Amino acid sequence: MGAARTSTRRRRAVPWLVLGLWIAVLALASPFASKLGDVQRDRAVDYLPASADSTQVARIQERLPGGEATEMVVVYHRDGGLTGADKATAAEQIGRVADEHRLTAEPRGVPSGDGTTLMYPIASTEPGTDEKARDRLVNDVRDVARGSDGLSVDVGGTGALATDASEVYNSLDGPLLYTTAAVVALLLILIYRSPFLWLVPLAVAGMADYLSMGVAYGLNQAFGTSVSGQSSGIMTILVFGAGTDYALLLVSRYREELRRVERPYDAMAAALKGCGPAVLASSGTVAAGLLCLLAADLNSTRGMGPLGTVGVLCALFAMLTLLPAILVLLGRRVFWPLVPRYGSTPKARRSLFTAMGGSAGRRPLTVLAGGAVLLGALALGTLTLPGSLKQEDSFTSKPDAVAAMETLGKAYPERGTQPISVLTPEDRAESALASIRGTRGVDSAREGRTGDGWTEISVLATAPPQSTGETATIEALREKLDGSYVGGASAQQLDLKDTNARDRLVVVPIVLLSVLLILVVLLRSLVAPLILVAAVVAVWGAALGIGGLVFEPLFGFEGTDPGLGLLSFVFLVALGVDYGIFLMHRMREECLNGAEPDTAALTALRTTGGVIASAGLVLAATFAVLTSMPLVPLVELGFVIAVGVLLDTFLVRTYLVTSASVALGRKVWWPGRLSRAPEPPVPPKEPERVAVAAH
């Protein structure tokens, strides 16, 4: 009796202890979580490649007198042509700006050839590297520079674009969190068909997200890990998406165990023992894939690796500790009205996945070939992806800075309107200036600030910003000016494109190799991991191809974010393999219990298909939340990942992986011991008869 009472007390104490520890952890994390927004940086240098020319320019500019300059262009425009009063208004307003702020040079108006537009390039070192001060400066200029009676006035340039982007990123946190939580809540209500149960995993995911914010801030302070609006948003998506997936698997197994085990504590222990290894393995694979982003040269991409990993691991920690504790404390009644009674048997129903498995099992090679052809055809859509996204095309709506750049593009088609910054050593400034003016494609060049051993030269190209002609001019300057750095907004976009291409060549093989090695260790096979990896790569190509078919014709996007290919690849491979582990783990379990490979494959699909489908829908929906954000790169990334997850869930896992497993039979586990047919049992030998001598 004493042992029984001790066991009962332990059952009651452990969930409360876990809950108390979580309260303490959240209390410790709270001061740090609230500071994450303070260290979030969305300056160009925070996204640029670490080793690029444009990054060096941005860093050196910070050390020049006054620090980094905020560059703007004030654009005055009237369709019928500017009047004398318009020009006087422009001069008066720009004069007020010059009186109220410390500008690097006296502003000079540049009229357009058709007389409809007048632009005033201005720059100030007042904000330095302070983003909030930059935003105040830009907004002050906008408050002064205003039009009326048909005169439009817009403030553009790199500083204004940065301010508009910053305002968008700063506005993401609330809407992104609330929208994600609402989407997950709706799906959980539909999946669980319970008025209470959905609240538990959603609340636990919210706590995991809060913890991840505190950990992310700690990483920033301890190791200088970069935090941007993009990476922190993706971290929230991963916490809710991956965390809810793990919750679905655990709750599903817990419901099964409650029918077989009387006490909720013991049922949860059995559920954790049953699905815990698969959840740990899948989350470890996702984390390993995301950490491969540390090999990227692009600051924004490299910083996303640690933050994404923090999101996944915090979600895992919460779903394997806090969620079980709360469910045990609430008992069976949390499942109301569909309460799993002890000793009951669920109604046997022919599920959709049983039917899918049946068709895959009857004609595995036909299904496999058809699926491969379909994915290959969809992947051809990548050939129609629009070119690289220009800076002014990165918003889904048209902020003030973009309107200014569009006006400049129409009014000054014959010349550049965005300066190219060249930093050259002071002792070579004169020769560099002469060389720049003699470079093909250069319209004008003038010497600007000098200090810290460097001279800044502002260059205007004859071609419009981010055009083929301007790109050729930037490349010519870099080739011609030895020991100098060429930067500016257009050079940054060029470096982003080139570095993303470099990062794909480096990161993609590392991701594939690391994921493959993990799968080999987990599944004790070479063939099964190759099937899973090949499947997720095919899904990535097909999802990107669908993006190519809809981005420009349907969404009206003028370009593709240079980082889309790499980021979507890493997320789809890591998350796709995640589901593959759930399926293959159950398949291997069935084989170890003596089932034939084809039977094991169909049983695994029948038993895990519903949970994987639910998890896939939740994950796709959380990434689809990004498509409602006002930035084109986030919309494109969210769309491709959401489509890829759906393809993986309802085509690749259900049909292609199952068909391949049925077709290959035991070979799918080669060279592990499951690839060999079990030896037939040896019949017991009859005892030898011993002759007894007669006496």
- What pLDDT score was predicted for residue 4? 54
Closest by CA position to 416, among listed 176, 606, 48, 157? 157
Alpha helices in 130-172, H assignment, sequence order: 131-144, 157-170
Phi/psi for 122 (5° steps) reads: -135, 155
CATH of the domain at 451: 3.30.70.260
- Cα–Cα distance measured from residue 317 to residue 255, given in angstroms and rounded to the nearest whole number: 21
Structural domain for 442, as ranges: 419-487
Same domain, 459 and 542: no
Same domain, 540 and 648: yes
Q: Is residue 680 part of a domain?
A: no
Same domain, 80 and 34: no
Do residues 473 and 440 touch, judged by C-beta distance below 8 A?
Answer: yes
Same domain, 314 and 370: no
**Which residues fall within 8 angstroms of residue 635, CB to CB, at 6 or more apart?**
396, 555, 557, 626, 627, 629
Q: At what angle do helices 173-192 and 229-260 cross, to 10 degrees?
A: 20
Same domain, 306 and 210: yes
Q: Provide the token pair at 403.
A: 């309107």
Same domain, 63 and 13: no
What is the number of domains present in the chain?
A: 4
Same domain, 344 and 355: no
- What pLDDT score was predicted for residue 594? 79
Do residues 155 and 74 touch, judged by C-beta distance below 8 A?
Answer: yes
- Cα–Cα distance measured from residue 28 to residue 567, given in angstroms and rounded to the nearest whole number: 32
Same domain, 207 and 101: no
- What pLDDT score was predicted for residue 60? 82
CB-neighbour burial class of residue 694 (10 A; exposed 0-12, middle 13-18, buried 19+): exposed
CA angle 574, 577, 582 (to 5 degrees): 130
Q: Is residue 686 part of a domain?
A: no
Q: Is residue 691 part of a domain?
A: no
Mean pLDDT per 10-residue interval, the chain, length 695 residues: 57 86 93 88 73 83 74 92 93 93 87 91 83 89 90 90 80 76 87 88 94 94 87 89 89 89 89 85 88 89 91 94 93 86 71 66 83 93 88 82 86 77 89 91 85 85 85 92 87 87 92 90 88 91 95 90 91 83 81 81 80 86 88 92 92 84 85 72 57 49
CATH of the domain at 634: 1.20.1640.10
Q: Provide the token pair at 452.
A: 């810290």
- What pLDDT score was predicted for residue 695? 45
Same domain, 612 and 659: yes
- Cα–Cα distance measured from residue 486 to residue 473, given in angstroms and rounded to the nearest whole number: 11
Same domain, 274 and 188: yes
Same domain, 271 and 327: yes
Q: Is residue 384 part of a domain?
A: yes
Same domain, 311 and 433: no
CA angle 527, 528, 532 (to 5 degrees): 120
